[in-house]
Chain A
Amino acid sequence: MPVLCKTGCGKNAVLKRPKTGDVLCKDCFFWAFETEIHYTIIKGNLFKSGDAVAVAASGGKDSTVLAHVLKTLNERYDYGLNLMLLSIDEGITGYRDDSLETVKRNRDDYEMSLKILSYKDLYGWTMDEIVEQIGRKNNCTFCGVFRRQALDRGAAMLNVKCIATGHNADDIAETVLMNILRGDIARLKRCTAISTGSEGTIPRVKPLKYTYEKEIVMYAHYKKLVYFSTECIFAPNAYRGHARALLKDLEKIRPSCIMDIIYSGETMAVKEDVSLPSQRTCSRCKFVSSQEVCKACVLLEGLNKGLPKLGIGKSSKAKRMLDEYHAKQQMSIDELNKEFQANNCIAKGKTCRSGGCKSNGLISNDCQGNKNKNEHLNEKANEMLTVYLLPDDECIVNGISPTDNDQENFEEIACEGSCGGGSISIAF
Chain B
Amino acid sequence: MPETLKLQINFSGGAELLFDKIKKHNIELPSVRKYLPDSKAEKWTIRELLVWIKGNLLKERPELFLQGDSVRPGILVLINDADWELFGELEYELQQNDNIMFISTLHGG
Bound together: yes
Contact with B along A1-43 (1 / 0, CB 8 A): 1010000000011111000000100000000000000000000
Chain B positions within 8 Å of A1 at CB level: 87
Name which of A244-252, A343-351, A382-390 contacts chain B: A244-252
Chain A positions within 8 Å of B76 at CB level: 214, 217-218
How far apart are the CA atoms of A232 and B106 in the complex, in Å?
A: 12
Q: A14-B83, A421-B109 are in contact. List 19 more A-B contacts (CB 8 A).
A: A3-B86, A13-B83, A14-B82, A16-B83, A58-B108, A60-B108, A217-B103, A221-B12, A229-B13, A229-B104, A231-B14, A231-B107, A252-B73, A416-B108, A417-B108, A418-B106, A422-B108, A423-B109, A427-B109
Chain B minimum-CB-distance residue to A3? B86
A-B Cβ contacts below 8 A, count: 85
Q: Please determine whether A14 and B81 come into contact, CB atoms closer than 8 angstroms.
A: yes
Could you tell me the distance in whole angstroms from the C-beta of B64 to the nearest C-beta in chain A? 9
Contact residues on A (Cβ < 8 Å of other chain), bracket: 35 or more
Interface residues of B in 1-22 (CB under 8 A from A): 12-14, 17
Q: Please determine whether B14 and A230 come into contact, CB atoms closer than 8 angstroms.
A: yes
Contact residues on B (Cβ < 8 Å of other chain), bracket: 20 to 34
A228 within 8 A of B: yes
Chain A positions within 8 Å of B14 at CB level: 229-231
Could you tell me the distance in whole angstroms from the C-beta of A161 to the nearest C-beta in chain B? 24
How far apart are the CA atoms of A232 and B108 in the complex, in Å?
A: 7
Q: Please determine whether B13 and A61 come into contact, CB atoms closer than 8 angstroms.
A: yes
Interface residues of B in 54-109 (CB under 8 A from A): 72-74, 76, 78, 81-83, 85-87, 103-109
Could you tell me the distance in whole angstroms from the C-beta of A205 to the nearest C-beta in chain B? 17
Chain A minimum-CB-distance residue to B67? A249
Q: Please determine whether A248 and B73 come into contact, CB atoms closer than 8 angstroms.
A: yes
In the complex where A23-B86, A229-B13, A248-B74 touch, is A418 in contact with B107 (Cβ < 8 A)?
Answer: yes
Q: Please determine whether A15 and B109 come into contact, CB atoms closer than 8 angstroms.
A: no
Could you tell me the distance in whole angstroms from the C-beta of A66 to the nearest C-beta in chain B? 10
> What are 24 A-B residue pairs whose CB atoms fall within 8 Å in the complex?
A13-B82, A23-B86, A58-B108, A58-B109, A60-B108, A61-B108, A61-B109, A62-B109, A99-B108, A216-B105, A217-B13, A217-B103, A221-B12, A228-B108, A229-B14, A231-B108, A245-B73, A248-B73, A248-B106, A249-B73, A251-B73, A252-B73, A416-B108, A423-B109
